[in-house]
Amino acid sequence: MSEVRTLQIDGKDVAARSDQTILSAAQDNEIGIPTLCHLEGLSDVGACRLCVVEVEGTPKLLPSCTTRVEEGMKITTTSERLVAYRRKMIEMFFVERNHICAVCVANNHCELQDLATRLGVDHFDLPLMHPKLPVDATHERFAIDHNRCILCTRCVRVCDEVEQAHTWDVAGRGAESLIVSDLGTPWGSSTTCTSCGKCVQVCPTGALFEKGRSVAEPKARRPYLPYLVRVAEREQ
């Protein structure tokens, strides 16, 4: 049974349920916090760290998508320090893999690109890592390009939580992690994949895409996800 909590976000007094996250409470009060791995309808994992906020009395920055509200919290969602952190995180996503917007299927429809624009990331201070990463195009309709994957795990979660196929997982450690299908078999030989395409729909970048789409060709819009979640919940 949830209770009411009162707290301050950016100096504004707000009320929230005790089972709400800071992000959710902020969104209810129309306070924008940048997010990337978060997607309405899926569980939160705090993978991208873009939604970090400052909480008075805590020296650490906390991810707002996985931190529950507490009574009397004083939260800051925008400060010089936070903007600098978020910029650096966007920069690290870019330098960690090979993001070439000019030839990307998601160009102009990419959440990473949008955030970079919004936060004013116009150059990189860190060196580009240029990893050699494969493209798995063995699936009949879809392909995954690890060069553009930011390991947000939206695909893993939607496949598990909504489609309930659990084709996708994360293999490896740290920056060398890779999204794998069926414990590392080529996507085209996956026996669990239902070819529903939800992973492609939720991918924030051009890492998962429909084969045959050319550069800067948007995929279908994704607001249907909350609807699918409700259907899945009703069936259970």
Binder among 91, 217, 222, 228 for other proteins (CB under 8 A)? 217
Amino acid at position 157, single letter: R
Query: Which one of 30-38, 58-66, 87-95, 129-137 is the stretch in contact with other proteins (CB under 8 A)?
Result: 129-137
Binder among 212, 220, 221, 233 for other proteins (CB under 8 A)? 212
Site string for other proteins, 45-84 (x = CB under 8 A): ----------------------------------------
Phi-psi region of 169 (alpha: psi -120 to 50; beta: other; left: phi over 0): beta
The greatest distance separating any two alpha carbons of the chain, rounded to the nearest whole angstrom, comes to 54
Q: Does 143 bind other proteins (CB under 8 A)?
A: yes
Q: Would you state the structure tokens that stand for residue 14, as one six-digit string?
A: 């707000």
Query: Which one of 29-37, 117-125, 134-142, 155-163 is the stretch in contact with other proteins (CB under 8 A)?
Result: 134-142
Break the chain down into helix, strand, coil percent, rounded to 5.
30, 15, 55
Q: Would you state the structure tokens that stand for residue 74, as one six-digit string?
A: 């004083």
CA-CA distance, 169 to 166, in Å (whole number)?
7
For other proteins, the binding residues in 106-125 under the rule CB under 8 A are 107
Binder among 170, 178, 196, 216 for other proteins (CB under 8 A)? 216
Measured over the CA atoms of residue 168, residue 171, residue 174 and residue 179, the dihedral's sign is negative
Site residues for other proteins per CB under 8 A: 102-105, 107, 134-135, 137-138, 140, 143, 145, 188, 211-217
